[in-house]
Amino acid sequence: MQDFFIDLRLPYSVVRNEQVEIRAVLYNYQEEEFKVRVELLYNPAFCSLATAKKRHQQTITIPARSSVAVPYVIVPLKVGLHEVEVKAAVYNHFISDGVKKTLKVVVSPWSTCCPLSFRRGSSSPCVVNPTWRPRHTIGDSGVLEVWKEGQD
C-alpha cells in the first residue's frame, strides 16, 4: 500500500452546463503531517479555476494517518467523455501522485417546448421553423428539424 495517494471522486455522469462539485481525496498513511500542493489540470471541456495558461494550485495540510477532501467546482461545456486530472506533491519529500478519470457529460433529459409556425395551404414538404427560442439557448446546442408532409 502507498503511504500517500489521491482518489478522485466523480459521479457516473453530469449534465452539460450544470455546475457540479467533484472531490479529490488525499490520503496520508505516514506517521508525520504532510504539506501538499494540489493541482487541478486544465481541460477545455470544462469551466473551472484551471486555465490554459495556469493550473489551479492550492496548498493543504494533511494530518498524519488521515485524509483530506479537496472540492473542485466545474461546469461541463461539451457532451461526451472527458478526462479530469488532479496531481499532488508533498513539500520537502520526493512523494507525489496523480489521478486521471473520465467523466461522462450528457445532454439535459428535460426538453424545452416552443411554439412552431406552419405554412398553411402548401402541398409540398416544408421545414417547420421555431418562432421562438428559449433565452438560455446555447450556440452549439443540438438542432432538431421537423418536416411537414401532405395537406393541412
pLDDT digits (tens, 9 = 90+) for 6-57: 999 999 999 999 999 999 999 999 999 999 999 999 999 999 999 999 999 9
Q: Are residues 145 and 78 in the same domain?
A: no
Q: Are residues 46 and 116 in the same domain?
A: no
Q: Are residues 66 and 102 in the same domain?
A: yes
Closest by CA to 138, choosing from 112, 102, 103, is 112
Closest by CA to 74, choosing from 121, 19, 25, is 19
Which range among 34-43, 68-77, 114-123 shows the weakest confidence by mean pLDDT? Answer: 114-123
Residue pLDDT, tens place only, 88-106: 999 999 999 999 999 999 9
Q: Are residues 77 and 134 in the same domain?
A: no
d(CA 84, CA 8): 9
> Domain range holding 46?
4-106
Q: Are residues 130 and 100 in the same domain?
A: no
Residue 136 or 60, more confident: 60
Q: What is the largest CA-CA distance in the chain?
A: 82
Q: Are residues 72 and 11 in the same domain?
A: yes
pTM for this predicted structure:
0.73
d(CA 130, CA 110): 18
